[in-house]
Amino acid sequence: MSFHLSAVSYELEDGHILKAVLRDADGEEQDAELDLNAYIGNNDGSFEWGGENFFDSAEEVELHREGEDDDEIPVLRARLGTVDGEQVDADVNLAERIGNDNGTLIFQA
């Protein structure tokens, strides 16, 4: 299950650490965090799942909530460096691969 569906709250800290309060299987709230740098890379100006260290070449990193209330999705936006040294706009839907495993944030390959 995507983490945001069971999250009481979530935010981005230091540009690459996803912090959340998640509900576990019993409905209890659990503090959780995941370093997105361990699971997302930069592939020539595009976010890449299964990569790492996107933040090393990123600027203006922000977490957005897009959509309407119940359909809101978490989107990571940044300007990422290309091999030519340019900075380009990029985004990735965190709901695609970040889940909640009984109150723990996990990467779903």
- Tell me if 1 sits within 8 A of 7, measured CB to CB: no
**Full set of structural domains in the chain with CATH:** 3-107 (2.30.60.10)
Query: Helix-strand-coil percent breakdown of the chain, rounded to 5?
Result: 15, 55, 30
Beta bridge partners of 62: 77
**47-62 per-position pLDDT tens digit:** 999 999 999 999 999 9
pTM for the model: 0.94
Torsion of CA 83, 88, 94, 97, to 10 degrees: -30
**35-48 per-position pLDDT tens digit:** 999 999 999 999 99
